[in-house]
Copies of this chain bind each other. A is one copy, B any other.
Amino acid sequence: MPYAASDTLPLLMSDLIAESKPSDWRPLDPKNTLYLEFGSRRVIIELAPDFAPQHVANVRALARERYWDGLAMVRVDDNYIVQWADPHAENSELARTIRTARETLPAEFDCAIDPDLPFHRLPDNDVYAEVVGFTNGFPIARDEKDGRTWLVNTYGTVGSGRETDIHSGGGKELYSVIGHAPRQLDRNVTAFGRVRLGIEFLSALPRGNCQAGFYQDVDSMLTISSVRLASEVPLAQRTQLEILRTDTALFADIIESRRNRHDAWFYKPAGHIDIGNVPVPVRLVE
């Protein structure tokens, strides 16, 4: 029980964060940070190479060749996902070509449990998996009998769209969850990251006007200005973001403060928490 919640009086999450030490936080690694930009908005995504290494490598390659610049938000499906991709992907004359990245990749729906990675197990049950918890700030599930693990689909999860063929994804068409955790996607799609800042720029987009939230015509789609790795953006233009470490006693305390809310407003603490309701705090630094 290395990360058990402290047995002192319960505190509010805001109090716990106010009392945090510098070592409770880690900076985002620029190599694993993606800036998705449209208009004046920047959505910051953290990549999870430990869970989908080939997809993360391909997303890095696609960002380096500026694959998504000028492409579009092709789908905004209420209480489900947004997708950004090439609106002309089906039109061989207009479709954007790839220079260095891979067109498709084998599915990375799950991976072997790495005993060297820290794992903070959630104390509550889960409807979909035997075990859920956090590794390096990512909500994950485990099947300990099979020795497999996977990123779960909750609000802010980022992954790669695909066709019916499970190996038809690869990273060209990306999605982010903007609704109630669609856990039925777990192990059906390659998830490889999480929005760490700016999810509200995605979740408040106008919904697509066709079936499943697709837009009817390209003109009504929002255009992507750019998608860049933070490591390829000049230092002065980077957003300096830190994330609360999830391999700490502080994180255990934060989970407990959310399982049983002691804010004055609450009358009956829930006593439980769904993995989709566990916050992983971030902060901007100088």
- Residues on A lying within 8 angstroms of B by beta carbon are 78-79, 107, 109, 124-128, 154-155, 163-164, 166, 179-184, 186-188, 199-200, 203-207, 258, 261, 264-274, 276-277
Q: Which residues of B contact A154 (CB under 8 A)?
A: 180
CA–CA, A270 and B269, complex, Å: 30
Q: Which residues of B contact A128 (CB under 8 A)?
A: 270-272, 274
Cβ-neighbour of A79 out of B199, B261, B272 (below 8 A): B199
* Smallest beta-carbon distance A235→chain B, Å: 29
Report copies per complex: 2
Establish whether residues B126 and A188, one from each chain, have CB atoms under 8 Å apart when the complex forms: no
* Smallest beta-carbon distance A8→chain B, Å: 22
A79-B155, A204-B78 as given contacts; A183 in contact with B270, CB under 8 Å = yes
Q: Which residues of B contact A276 (CB under 8 A)?
A: 180-181
> Nearest residue in B to A128 (C-beta to C-beta)?
B272
Which of A127, A205, A269 is the most central at the interface, judged by chain B CB atoms within 10 Å of its CB?
A127
* Smallest beta-carbon distance A52→chain B, Å: 15
Cβ-neighbour of A179 out of B166, B179, B186 (below 8 A): B179
Establish whether residues B267 and A127, one from each chain, have CB atoms under 8 Å apart when the complex forms: no
Q: Which residues of B contact A264 (CB under 8 A)?
A: 164
